Amino acid sequence: MKRAIILYLATLIVMVPLDFLFLGVLAKDFFKAQVGPALGDVNIVPAAIFYLLYPVGMVIFVSYAAGSDWQHTLLYGALFGLFCYATFDLTALALLKGWTWPATLVDIAWGTFATATSATLGLLIANAIQRQA
- The pLDDT-based confidence of 19 (bands split at 50, 70, 90) is very high
pLDDT digits (tens, 9 = 90+) for 31-73: 999 998 778 788 999 999 999 999 999 999 999 888 889 999 9
At residue 112, the pLDDT reads 98
Sign of torsion, CA 97 24 14 105? positive
At residue 48, the pLDDT reads 97
At residue 111, the pLDDT reads 98
At residue 77, the pLDDT reads 97
3-state secondary structure of 39: coil
> Does residue 105 have a pLDDT over 80?
yes
- The pLDDT-based confidence of 1 (bands split at 50, 70, 90) is confident
At residue 42, the pLDDT reads 84
At residue 121, the pLDDT reads 97
Report d(CA 64, CA 49) in Å as an integer: 22
Q: Parse the chain into domains and list their residue ranges.
A: 2-132
Q: What is the CA radius of gyration of the chain?
A: 16
**pTM listed for this prediction:** 0.93
* Residue 10 neighbours by CB distance under 10 Å: 24
pLDDT digits (tens, 9 = 90+) for 76-102: 999 999 999 999 999 999 999 999 999
